[in-house]
Structure 1
């Protein structure tokens, strides 16, 4: 996944500036982002503060790790089933 050039605090700051009355197109020009990027940020991070955002990223990383572990274990179980089927 591509790493963002904006930190969590910068994203939160941008969202707060628009809530404060700054126009979205003006902010997008200033930051050099598309309006679609801004609206994705707002959909994902709207209403969060920096600590909540960091916690969410930690949970996403843990979820990805657990999914990978599950896939590996499932693969092992399938291999064992095949071996047992061939044996009998």
Structure 2
């Protein structure tokens, strides 16, 4: 299986950007694809760094 380019802390940071008002399209333009965004949100949504 391919290893992710992003650490779990980076993933949570990217998801926080979405919570701060940026749209998925804006975030995906910079770093990731839309399906990846939704997969991460289902897996890591609502988690804090201390919970990892």
Q: TM-score, length-normalised on structure 2?
A: 0.89
- Aligned position for 1:21: 21
Deviations 1:21-76 (A, max 9, x none): 00111101111x210000000000000012323xxxxxxxxxxxxxxxxxxxxxxx
Give unmatched runs, 5+ long, in structure 2.
none
Rg larger for: 1
Give unmatched runs, 5+ long, in structure 1.
54-88
Flag the structure with higher helix content.
1
- Aligned position for 1:6: 6
Measured on the aligned residues, the alpha-carbon RMSD in Å equals 1.0
Is 1:44 aligned to 2:43, yes or no? yes
Q: TM-score, length-normalised on structure 1?
A: 0.55
Runs of 4+ in structure 1 displaced over 3 angstroms? Answer: none
- Of structures 1 and 2, the one scoring higher in RCO (CA 8 A, sep 6+) is 2
Q: How many residues align?
A: 52
